A and B are shown apart, each in its own frame.
Chain A
Amino acid sequence: MAIELLMPALSPTMTEGTLARWVKAEGEKVAIGDVIAEIETDKATMEVEAIEDGILGRILVPEGTHEIAVNTPIAIMVAEGETVPEAGAVKPQSSAPPSPVAQPETAPQGSAPASAPATTPAAPVGQAATGKRIVASPLAKRVASQKGLDLSRIKGTGPNGRIVRRDVDNAAAQGTAAPVTVAAVAEVPAPTSRTVPHSSMRKVIARRLSEAKSTIPHFYVSADVELDALLALRSQLNATSPDEGPDAFKLSVNDMLVKASAIALKRVPNVNASFTDQAMILHDNVDISIAVSIPDGLITPIVKHVDQKSLKQISQETKDLVKRARAGKLKPEEFQGGTFSISNMGMFGVRDFSAIINPPQAAILAIAAGKKQPVVKGNELAIATVMTVTLSVDHRVVDGAVAAEWLSAFRSVVESPLTLVL
């Protein structure tokens, strides 16, 4: 029997996505587990797998379509020999879970985070119900779209909670449903500028960072850290790597700083925390989000349980995550969560910078370039490789002294790096 394939919600925050590519063509046979299409969400590109055998009868949404709302029919699957019915005359897939790909194959290694509910980032207000079909009258839909209101944020008061015109009018009067779209582009484009429509990711970056910077009281603590001992240790460790083969490794400075951060978080656990209105959440796990720039924006893959992992493990995992992040192939659980972030711009030679906290985390470490510079040792002038790190902290969670304590712990690990291999 023909079924409609619906736009899946591939992450809890996903409300819409882009149909990046049809892997199967119309009329092509599809077996369970075959990748049918690739969908680009706000954070990554993911594969949609077939949930039953059949034939991809008709593609309803062409490749490259942007802003397809979750649960929009994207294709019709039919059985072999069956004629393809018109869209709309078809039963939507009902037996299948909305996210065909996401969860499988990743039984998380190690123990599942005990405090998971508190540590996973809360879905933005009003988007909790995004997986559900919005029930609204045609008139309510039209008026909402004319007023630029987001129906998913409007509570319906009609029969069975249906959103009716008066709900939209009330929401407009109260300003409770923020506009979905910003009045687009200047009508007469200036000759010297170009208009680039926002990607899904750009919208998420804009929203999340605005929210973070405007709601979290940031403060910043910087310190200079000497890197020579760490660099020396790195050379020694890398020298032990086999030339090639699966065991080969090459530790980066960043890998070692990730581990150093984890140790500092263990020593000053109050920084490994989240603020909620009711209580402070202190995390047992040390899951570090690493900011990775990708062509379209940035993403923060997470190395989990960093405190329990060896430098080699951290290095290999990070490489894999970064590679897949740049390819847009991360799974939601690989970039959502985390208890602390690191942003490293050392490779660009920056002297220092401060970063915006990645909520609901309480701190982010901004790492600048290490540079040889004169330092005073005892009463002597000496040369050392020095980098400036800046910790951005949520003042609701961490006070100045604690932040300073953390930085001092971090510096002592980096400057006496043998701790990293203990």
Chain B
Amino acid sequence: MSGTDFDIIIVGGGPGGYVAALRAAQLGLSAAVVEAKHLGGICLNWGCIPTKALLRASEINHLLHDLGTYGFSAEKVGFDFSKIIARSRAVSKQLSSGVAHLLKKAKIPVFEGFGKLDGVTGSKRKVLVTPEKGAPVTLTAKHVILATGARARVLPGLEADGKLIWSYREALVPDALPRRLLVIGSGAIGSEFASFYRNMGSEVTLVEVAPRILPVEDEEISALARKAFEKQGMRVLTSAKVGTLRKSDTDVTVPVEVNGKIEEFTVDRVISAVGIVGNVEKIGLEGTKIKTDRTHVVTDALCRTGEPGVYAIGDLAGAPWLAHKASHEAVMCVDAIAGKQVHPIDITKIPGCTYCRPQIASVGYTEARAKEAGYKVRVGKFPLLANGKALAMGEPDGLVKTVFDAQTGELLGAHMIGAEVTEMIQGYVIARTGELTEAELAETIFPHPTISESMHEAVLAAYDGALHF
């Protein structure tokens, strides 16, 4: 094997790609990663991690402005916005070098440059790597995993200009805190930025075209999130259509139509968070049997594309666009290549988390989707208001909701909003993955006092009734 021939080449070094490489090395396969820009991908550099660093800052800001609740007083509370941004970047950088270190430790070469499929030679596939500077290199491997990820979707008229109109990328590194901000799109990305900026002090308007914010979540959760946002002073518009933007040098006027009535908002910045599209361009798909569907590569349950030996994982392969889905697919895909028995991913077992304030976490079927799917359901709910730890923490707003199949006791879904729920959802994910029924959950002893007790109570509520509500 030369320095350019491998068992597996992975195009893309995000949470799909670098995990695939690490797994390959674990299994004794030779692997190489091709990455155009940042190891760790969007997740580490422009997504999950830096936003969490920012949201931590906004949470602290919220607490600092709420000190009286806990009996504190402070004379002067302030922040240096550039330092908050710098901290977020530093966290990303630390993790990105962490990934580089992991790959180095596993003796996985990283080829810097833009990778694309470039035909075959014998039984091997060729990947052409074009670096920013220098000559292109051709690598060969029996298997190629495409993990090129996704980017922000751009709607006509809402193109990010880096100044007045931001995508998530600009929103992560602003020069200053905008006084007035309008966020278009209330999915996880839009809601997190809206929450961050609102809790830092911006006037925030959140605009959603669907009838409710966080449209993939359970309706009740959406409603509670909206209530919480509005209580924090955010303006929330749903079933809202954005008209043509009018820009000046320093601000943007956004006409928003709700129920036939148009209201104009003049703001300093607009964040466009209207979904994402897969990075399917320029990676050599043309002329192959690899199919795409609405900017995503079509794969089977084991991430195989139409071209033998070529796989697609993560955001490139379609929804849900979550780092943990990409990493899981990475391991599954490499295991399958190595001939191990694998289990296709069931998307109803992938948790989703949104780190706005209050946090939102869920897994599996919403109540409505369970009913649509024909289940007779048993639903249990428990408000955090009745949870001792939540009260002690000063975080009484929230709800835990469970959806069971009335016939079999299968936990179809779980939906949570409130403090720390993103850290707790895994309990339900384990239950769902391990196929526990209400009986095992009811028999599980949850520690007291914790917010997680409300997870137990929400199970009991679906059956014999919660004890503390």
A143 vs B408: C-alpha distance in the bound complex, in angstroms? 6
Pull 11 A–B residue pairs with CB atoms less than 8 Å apart, ordered by A: A137-B435, A137-B436, A138-B435, A138-B436, A138-B439, A139-B410, A139-B437, A140-B435, A143-B408, A146-B408, A165-B410
B407 touches A165 (CB 8 A): no
Q: How far is the CB of A140 from chain B (nearest CB, A)?
A: 6
Q: Is A158 an interface residue (CB 8 A)?
A: yes
B435 touches A164 (CB 8 A): yes
Chain B residue nearest in CB terms to A166: B346
B407 touches A139 (CB 8 A): no
Q: A138-B437, A138-B440 are in contact. Are A158 and B407 (CB under 8 A)?
A: no
Q: Mark B396-440, 1 if CB is under 8 A from A, else 0.
A: 000000000001111000000000000000000000001111011
Q: Mark A137-164, 1 if CB is under 8 A from B, else 0.
A: 1111011001000000000011100001
B410, B436, B440 — most chain A CB neighbours (10 Å): B410
* Neighbouring A residues of B369 by C-beta, 8 Å: none
Chain A residue nearest in CB terms to B409: A142
Q: List residues of B (416-469) whose CB comes within 8 Å of A's CBs.
A: 434-437, 439-440
Q: Mark B317-359, 1 if CB is under 8 A from A, else 0.
A: 0000000000000000000000000010000000000000000
Q: How far is the CB of B396 from chain A (nearest CB, A)?
A: 33
Q: List residues of A (256-271) whose CB comes within 8 Å of B's CBs.
A: none
Q: How far is the CB of A394 from chain B (nearest CB, A)?
A: 42
A-B contact count (CB 8 A): 28
A90 vs B143: C-alpha distance in the bound complex, in angstroms? 49
Q: How far is the CB of A133 from chain B (nearest CB, A)?
A: 17
Number of interface residues of A (CB under 8 A): 12
A139 touches B343 (CB 8 A): no
* Neighbouring A residues of B408 by C-beta, 8 Å: 139, 142-143, 146
A157 vs B409: C-alpha distance in the bound complex, in angstroms? 21
Q: How far is the CB of A139 from chain B (nearest CB, A)?
A: 4
Chain A residue nearest in CB terms to B346: A166
* Neighbouring A residues of B434 by C-beta, 8 Å: 137-138
Q: How far is the CB of A241 from chain B (nearest CB, A)?
A: 67
Q: Mark A79-115, 1 if CB is under 8 A from B, else 0.
A: 0000000000000000000000000000000000000
Given contacts A137-B435, A165-B410, 16 further A-B contacts (CB under 8 A): A137-B434, A138-B436, A138-B439, A138-B440, A139-B408, A139-B409, A139-B410, A139-B436, A140-B435, A143-B408, A146-B407, A146-B408, A157-B343, A158-B343, A159-B343, A164-B435
A165 vs B409: C-alpha distance in the bound complex, in angstroms? 12
* Neighbouring B residues of A137 by C-beta, 8 Å: 434-436
* Neighbouring A residues of B436 by C-beta, 8 Å: 137-139
A158 vs B435: C-alpha distance in the bound complex, in angstroms? 11
A140, A142, A159 — most chain B CB neighbours (10 Å): A142
The 4 closest A-B pairs by CB, nearest first: A137-B435, A139-B435, A138-B437, A139-B410
Residue numbers of B with Cβ under 8 A of A are: 343, 407-410, 434-437, 439-440
A138 vs B343: C-alpha distance in the bound complex, in angstroms? 19
Residue numbers of A with Cβ under 8 A of B are: 137-140, 142-143, 146, 157-159, 164-165
* Neighbouring A residues of B440 by C-beta, 8 Å: 138
Q: How far is the CB of B432 from chain A (nearest CB, A)?
A: 9
* Neighbouring B residues of A140 by C-beta, 8 Å: 435
A146 vs B434: C-alpha distance in the bound complex, in angstroms? 19
B408, B409, B435, B437 — most chain A CB neighbours (10 Å): B435
Q: How far is the CB of A346 from chain B (nearest CB, A)?
A: 56
A273 vs B22: C-alpha distance in the bound complex, in angstroms? 60
Chain A residue nearest in CB terms to B436: A138
Q: How far is the CB of A406 from chain B (nearest CB, A)?
A: 53
A142 touches B343 (CB 8 A): no
* Neighbouring B residues of A164 by C-beta, 8 Å: 435
Chain A residue nearest in CB terms to B439: A138
A333 vs B436: C-alpha distance in the bound complex, in angstroms? 41
* Neighbouring B residues of A146 by C-beta, 8 Å: 407-408
* Neighbouring B residues of A142 by C-beta, 8 Å: 408-409, 437
Q: How far is the CB of B331 from chain A (nearest CB, A)?
A: 13
A142 vs B436: C-alpha distance in the bound complex, in angstroms? 10
Chain B residue nearest in CB terms to A143: B408
Chain A residue nearest in CB terms to B441: A138
Q: How far is the CB of A161 from chain B (nearest CB, A)?
A: 10
Q: How far is the CB of B404 from chain A (nearest CB, A)?
A: 11
A140 vs B435: C-alpha distance in the bound complex, in angstroms? 7
* Neighbouring A residues of B343 by C-beta, 8 Å: 157-159
Q: How far is the CB of B80 from chain A (nearest CB, A)?
A: 50
A142 vs B408: C-alpha distance in the bound complex, in angstroms? 7
Q: How far is the CB of B410 from chain A (nearest CB, A)?
A: 5
Q: How far is the CB of B131 from chain A (nearest CB, A)?
A: 42
A165 vs B437: C-alpha distance in the bound complex, in angstroms? 11
A157 vs B407: C-alpha distance in the bound complex, in angstroms? 23
Chain A residue nearest in CB terms to B407: A146
Q: How far is the CB of A155 from chain B (nearest CB, A)?
A: 12
A335 vs B434: C-alpha distance in the bound complex, in angstroms? 43
A45 vs B432: C-alpha distance in the bound complex, in angstroms? 43
* Neighbouring A residues of B410 by C-beta, 8 Å: 139, 165
A137 vs B408: C-alpha distance in the bound complex, in angstroms? 12
A137 vs B436: C-alpha distance in the bound complex, in angstroms? 7
Q: How far is the CB of B291 from chain A (nearest CB, A)?
A: 27
A169 vs B436: C-alpha distance in the bound complex, in angstroms? 16
A137 vs B409: C-alpha distance in the bound complex, in angstroms? 12
Q: How far is the CB of A169 from chain B (nearest CB, A)?
A: 11
A221 vs B15: C-alpha distance in the bound complex, in angstroms? 77
A158 vs B341: C-alpha distance in the bound complex, in angstroms? 10
A91 vs B408: C-alpha distance in the bound complex, in angstroms? 30
Q: How far is the CB of A171 from chain B (nearest CB, A)?
A: 15
A21 vs B440: C-alpha distance in the bound complex, in angstroms? 32
A142 vs B410: C-alpha distance in the bound complex, in angstroms? 9
Q: How far is the CB of B73 from chain A (nearest CB, A)?
A: 52
Q: How far is the CB of A375 from chain B (nearest CB, A)?
A: 71
A177 vs B237: C-alpha distance in the bound complex, in angstroms? 54
A138 vs B434: C-alpha distance in the bound complex, in angstroms? 8
Chain B residue nearest in CB terms to A139: B435
A142 vs B440: C-alpha distance in the bound complex, in angstroms? 12
A165 vs B440: C-alpha distance in the bound complex, in angstroms? 16
A139, A140, A158, A164 — most chain B CB neighbours (10 Å): A139
A146 vs B343: C-alpha distance in the bound complex, in angstroms? 25
A138 vs B410: C-alpha distance in the bound complex, in angstroms? 9
Chain B residue nearest in CB terms to A160: B341
A137, A138, A143, A159 — most chain B CB neighbours (10 Å): A138
Q: How far is the CB of A168 from chain B (nearest CB, A)?
A: 10
Q: How far is the CB of A154 from chain B (nearest CB, A)?
A: 14
A140 vs B439: C-alpha distance in the bound complex, in angstroms? 13
* Neighbouring B residues of A143 by C-beta, 8 Å: 408
* Neighbouring B residues of A165 by C-beta, 8 Å: 410, 435
A137 vs B440: C-alpha distance in the bound complex, in angstroms? 11
Q: How far is the CB of B142 from chain A (nearest CB, A)?
A: 27
* Neighbouring B residues of A138 by C-beta, 8 Å: 434-437, 439-440
Chain B residue nearest in CB terms to A157: B343
A138 vs B408: C-alpha distance in the bound complex, in angstroms? 10
Q: How far is the CB of A94 from chain B (nearest CB, A)?
A: 24
Q: How far is the CB of A144 from chain B (nearest CB, A)?
A: 10
A139 vs B408: C-alpha distance in the bound complex, in angstroms? 7
Q: How far is the CB of B445 from chain A (nearest CB, A)?
A: 14
* Neighbouring A residues of B407 by C-beta, 8 Å: 146
A103 vs B359: C-alpha distance in the bound complex, in angstroms? 63
Q: How far is the CB of B435 from chain A (nearest CB, A)?
A: 3
Q: How far is the CB of A378 from chain B (nearest CB, A)?
A: 80
